[in-house]
Structure 1
Amino acid sequence: MKKKALTSLAAAAAAVLALSACGGGSSADAGKGEINYWLWDANQLPAYKQCADDFHKANPDITVKVTQRGWDDYWGTLTNGFVAGTAPDVFTDHLGKYPEFIKNKQLLALDDAVKKDNVDTGVYNSGLADLWVGQDGKRYGLPKDWDTIALFYNTKLAADAGVTPEQMANLTWNPQDGGTYEKTIAHLTVDKNGKRGDEPGFDKNNVAVYGLGLNGSGSGQGQTEWSYLTGTTDWTHTDKNPWGKHYNYDDPRFQESIDWFAGLVDKGYMPKLETTVGASMADTFAAGKSVINANGSWMIGQYTGYKDVKVGIAPTPTGVNGKRASMYNGLADSIYAGTKKKDAAIKWVEYLGSAACQDVVAAKAVVFPAIKTSADKAVEAFKAKGVDVTPFSQQVKDGTTFLYPIADNAAKVDGIMKPAMDAVVSGKAKASSLTQANDQVNALFK
C-alpha cells in the first residue's frame, strides 16, 4: 500500500478511539504472555531477534514475536491494524508518522512508566528523546537509532574516470551551475558509445552508466534525494520544526534547487523518474548502472555488503552557505494504545531503549543506536569491518544537521506533494508549479 493510502484510512481510524482509550488495562495478564513487535528494516532483523531472545531469558513470562515487513506494506498493514484493533503491541515508529497516530489516540503515553522505572532519557544522543514528546507534552516513544545522509560511490568507476577520493570528499554545490558536484556527476556519466557526459557527442538518450542514481522525486521531504542540497541554502521545510504550521515550497531558494535537481534528468546525468518505479536504487548501483548514490546511514550494510562492488563513502557537498547539510532523523519504539499486554509492552520498549539491546544492535554494524555510548560502539564495529562512517557521523558532531519535518497532516501533505514533485522531476512541470501545491498544503493548517 502506498503512503497516500494512509490518508484514506485516517477517518476510519477515528472509529477505534474508544478501543485505544482503554490503554490495554492493567490486568494480571497484561504483564506476561506473547507480545508482537514489528519493524520494517530487514537488515536489523537479526539484531532485534537476538534482543528478543535476551529479553525472554531475563523475563521468562514474556515472549516477543518479531515481524519484519517492507516499508509500504508495513505502514499500510499497521494502519489497517489500528482500524481493526489488530495492530502489534509494539512497533518501530517514524517522526513523519507519529503526529497522526497521536491525533487518532493510537499511541500509549509512556510518561508514567518512564518516571516509575527511572528511565534516563539523558543517555540518548542530544535532542533525540525530545523529538518523541507530542504537542500535548506527553512522551510516545523511546529512541532506538538515528540517521544522516552521505554519498555512496563506486570506487572503481570513479577511479576509471580519474575522480579521486579527495575530490569526492571536497565537492561543492550551488543551484546555478551545480558546482563541482555537477561537473563530477557529468564526468562519471557514460553513454552506450563510451562518451562521458561532459564530452562532445554525449548521447543523453542512450546512457549506460549514470553519474547520480535516483531514488524517486522525494515527495515533500526529499530525505535522500535533495534535502542535503536545499539544506545548504538555509531553506527550511516549515516555519518551525517540530510542529510547524506553514510550509515553504513556494520559496525561490527551494524551487531553484529543485529545478537544478530535475535538470540532471534532462541532461541525461540521472535516470528518468519512470525507470525508478518498482526498482531499487541500491541494486541498480550494485549492477554498475550508477556511480554515486545519495542515501541514508541505514543503508551502510547493504552498500558495503555487495561482493562485486568496492564502495567509498563521501560527505555531502558543501553548499551555498559554505557548509554541508544532512537531514537528521531518529526512530523510536512506540506502544499501540489498544494493547492487551500493556505492562509487558512497556518492559519490552524500555529494554529496546536500553544499552543492553542497543549494544547488540551496535555490534551488528547496521545503524547508529540512539544511546551515545552504543553509537560509539557501532562506529568501532563498522571500523572493524573496514568501513569508515565518518561522512555520516561528522555532520552530527559539526552541527550541520536539520530535523526531518515533524508536523500534523503528514499523510495529506504527502498526498499533495508526491504527485507535484513527480511532475517536476519527470519534466512535466517546472518547480514554479510547486507554489500551487504549497498553497494546498498550507490550507490544511487553516
Structure 2
Amino acid sequence: MSKPTLTLVALTLASTAACAAEVKYALWDSNQLPAYQQCATDFQKANPGISVKITQSGWDDYWTAISTGFISGTAPDVFTNHLAKYPEFARNAQLLDLSPLIARDKVKTDIYSSGLYETWGRDAKQYGLPKDWDTVAFLVNMEHAKKQGVTLAELQNMSWNPKDGGSFEQLVKKLTVDSKGNNATSPNFDKKNVAVYGYQTPGPGGMTGQTEWSHFAVSNGFKFQDAPWNGKLYYDSPKLAETLDYLAGLPAKGVSATTESTKSLGSDAMFVGKKAAIVPQGSWMISYFAGNAKFDHAWVPLPKGPTGKRATMFNGLADSIWAGSKVKEEAWKWVKYLGSADCQNTVASYGVVFPAVKGTAEKAIEAQKKKGVDSSAFMAMTKEQTFLAPIADNGSQIEEIVKNANEQVFFGKSKATDALKTASAKVNALNK
C-alpha cells in the first residue's frame, strides 16, 4: 500500500503547485524594482499558494499599458497608482473598493504618515493602501558651486520672487558660466555660448507641475483647488501666470537652456553631464543621482517665495487592485503585505524611496547616509508648506489641456495669462 500512497501524495502536491494563483503586479520605477522583488520573495515564502509576477516599464508606457489593459482585460491585478490618475479609474469602476476587506481583516490604517491614507478614499470607499511619499528639493553641483564661490549655506537659504528672482536668481547667475569662464553677473557674459546653465526647469509640466513649477507657484500664493475633489481648479490664477512667465523667461537671460533644446535630453541628463548646476527633482530620484552624478552634489531645500514660505507638493503613491482581477483575494493579500510595516521596512533598507508607514522614512534616510547621500532636505520640506496634487475627475483631459497651455508659454507662443485663461475655462467646464 505504501507505493500507491506515495504516488497519490506526489500527484496531489504537483496539482497544488500547478494551481498556485499568480498575482500580476506592475510598477514604473526601475530603481524600486529590487526592493519590491525582495518583498515578493518574502511574501511568497509566507504564502506558498501565491506567486507574484512583477513587471516594470517607464512612466508613459506604464500608464498606456494600464489603460489599454482595462479595455482588453489584461491589466495587472495590482498596480502602483498615482493621485493624478486614480480619480478617473475609480469613476470608471476600474478599481476595487478595499474598504470591506480592510474592515473584514481589521487592517490598521493609522500606521501611515498623516494624510496619506485619506487621500485614497472617496465617498466611504478606499482605492489603495499607501506605499510611500515624496517631496521636491533642489539638486546642486557642489563641485561647480565651490568654483564659482557659492556656498552650501547660501544655497540652503535662497528666496525667490517673480519680479527680480530674489537671491535664487542671483546665485543662478553666479553659477551660469559661458565658454570663456564668465558668469552671468559679468558684463562680458556671452549668453549665446553657455557652458554651464545655473538652473534648468525640467519642462512645461502638466496639470500638477510637480517638479517643474508647482513649488514656485504655491510659494507665490497659488492654489490648485479649495479641497480634493472640488471641481473648480484655479489655473487662471495670476500667481500661476507670473510664475510660468518668470520660468519661461529664464532662457532669454541665458541662465537656462531653452525648452526646445532640452526636450529630448532632459534636465536630469544635463545635470549628470555637468551642463546644469541646479535642477529640481523629487525624492524618488535620490538613488539615480547617487549612482550617476559622479561628482560632489547636494540636495537643498526649495527657496522661500513671496509668501515667506517654502512649498512642496507632498505626493503619496498607493497600491490598487484592478476590479477585473480574477484573483482578488490573493491580490488583496499582496496589497496588505505591500502596505505593511514588514514590506515597507524592507523597502526602507534599500534607501530608494520614503515608505508610508510611520518611522520607515527615517530608516531610509539612514540607509542613504550609508551610501554617502544626505537626503534630509526632503524631510525638511515636509515641515514647510506642503500641498497635494490636484485631485479631480477627468484627469487625463485636464492633463492634456494644461500641458498644451504650458507649452505655449514655454515655447514663447503665448503669455501665460492668455494661455491659462483659455485652459482654465476648458478645465472647469469639464467638472461642472
Q: Which residue of 1 aligns with 2:344?
A: 358
Give the greater-gyration-radius structure (CA): 2
Pairwise CA distance, 1:220: 2.4
Tell me the residue number matched to 2:8.
none
Task: Kindly state the Cα deviation for residue 242 of structure 1 after the two structures are TM-superposed.
Answer: 0.9
Within the candidate set 367, 383, 386, 1:401 is matched to 386
Equivalent residue, structure 2, for 1:218:
205
**Alpha-carbon distance between aligned partners in 1 of 2:379 and 2:279, rounded to the nearest angstrom:** 18
Distance in structure 1 (CA, Å) of the matches to 2:192 and 2:337: 53
Residue 65 of structure 1: aligned partner = 53
Distance in 2 of aligned mates of 1:323 and 1:131: 24
Aligned runs of 1:75-224 on 2, under 5 Å? 75-134=63-122, 136-224=123-211
Shift of 1:301: 0.8
Amino acid at match of 2:26: W
Q: Matched residue pairs, number?
A: 415
Matched residue type, 1:189: T
Structure 2 counterpart of 1:424, which letter?
Answer: V
User: What's the counterpart of residue 5 of structure 2?
Assistant: none
Specify every segment of 5 or more residues in structure 1 that has no aligned partner in the other structure, as ranges: 1-27
Cα separation, 1, equivalents of 2:105 and 2:262: 47
Give yes or no for the alignment of 1:229 onto 2:208: no
Shift of residue 303, structure 1, vs aligned partner: 1.3
* RMSD, aligned α-carbons: 1.5
Relative to structure 1, the CA distance from residue 205 to residue 220 in structure 2 (aligned partners, 3 Å threshold; closer, same or farther) is: farther
User: 4+ runs of 1 displaced by more than 3 Å?
Assistant: none
| AA partner of residue 402 (structure 2) | M
Rounded to whole Å, the distance in 2 between the matches of 1:332 and 1:33 is: 23
Partners of 1:304 and 1:265 in 2: CA distance: 28
Change in CA separation of 1:399 and 1:210 when aligned onto 2, cut-off 3 Å:
closer
Are the equivalent residues in 2 in contact too, given 1:220–1:421 (CA < 8 A)?
A: no
Gaps of 5+ in 2: 1-15
Q: Deviations over 1:112-150 (max 9, x none)?
A: 11111111110000010001002x220000000000000
| Cα deviation 1:210-245 (Å, max 9, x = unaligned) | 11123110122211011111111221012x231121
2:254 & 2:206 partners in 1: Cα distance?
21
Contact 2:78-2:335 within 8 A present in 1 as well: yes
Query: Does the 8 Å CA contact 2:244/2:416 hold for their aligned counterparts?
Result: yes
CA distance in 1, matches of 2:273, 2:61: 26
CA distance 1:424–1:373, change in 2 (3 Å): same
1:175·1:257 contact (CA, 8 Å) conserved in 2? Answer: yes
Which SS does the other structure have where 1:123 is aligned? coil
**Offset at 1:32?**
4.5
Asked whether the equivalents of residues 310 and 384 of structure 2 are also in contact (C-alpha less than 8 Å), the reply is: no
Identify the match of residue 36 of structure 1 among 24, 28, 41.
Answer: 24
> SS in structure 2 opposite 1:212?
coil
How far does the alpha carbon of each residue in 1:75-127 deviate from its partner, in whole angstroms, 9 at most, with x for none? Answer: 01110000101000000000000000011100001011111111111000001
Segment drifting more, 422-431 vs 91-100: 422-431
Deviates more, 1:35-44 or 1:383-392: 383-392
State the distance in 1 between where 2:338 and 2:371 align: 25
Between 1:265-274 and 1:415-424, the stretch displaced more is 265-274
Cα distance in 2 between the residues matched to 1:90 and 1:304: 30
Asked if structure 2 preserves the Cα contact closer than 8 Å seen for 1:32 and 1:341, the reply is no
SS in 1 for 2:80: strand
* Counterpart residue type for residue 204 of structure 2: S
Q: Is the 8 A contact 2:309 2:384 kept in 1?
A: no
How far, CA to CA, are the matches of 2:295 and 2:279 in structure 1?
13
TM value normalised by structure 2: 0.93
User: 1:399, CA displacement in angstroms?
Assistant: 4.5
User: Of 277, 287, 292, which aligns to 2:273?
Assistant: 287
% same residue: 49
What is the TM-score when the length of structure 1 is the normalising length?
0.91
CA drift of 1:342 comes to: 0.5
Can you list the C-alpha shifts for 1:16-49, whole angstroms capped at 9, x where unaligned? xxxxxxxxxxxx99x9511110000000000000
| Counterparts in 2 of 1:113 and 1:93: CA distance versus 1, 3 Å | same
**1:311-343, Cα deviation, whole Å (9 max, x unpaired):** 111100011111111010000000000000010
Q: Is the 8 A contact 1:140 1:334 kept in 2?
A: yes
For residues 269-418 of structure 1, what are the structure 2 equivalents within 5 Å?
269-306=255-292, 308-396=294-382, 398-418=383-403
Amino acid aligned to 2:129: L
Could you tell me which residue of structure 1 aligns to residue 227 of structure 2?
241
CA offset digits 1:402-430 (Å, max 9, x no partner): 11111111111111111110110121211
Matched letter for residue 350 of structure 1: K
User: Which range moved further: 264-273 or 103-112?
Assistant: 264-273
Distance 2:117 2:274 in 1: 40
Letter in 1 for 2:311: A
* Secondary structure of 2:25 counterpart: strand
Alpha-carbon distance between aligned partners in 2 of 1:40 and 1:208, rounded to the nearest angstrom? 33
What is the match of residue 23 of structure 1? none
Distance in structure 2 (CA, Å) of the matches to 1:323 and 1:216: 24
Could you tell me how far apart the structure 1 residues matched to 2:260 and 2:124 are? 43
Query: What's the secondary structure of 1:114's corresponding residue?
Result: helix
Q: Return the letter of the residue paired with 1:348.
A: W
Q: Please tell me the residue identity of whatever aligns with 2:398.
A: V
Change (3 A) 1:399 1:198: closer
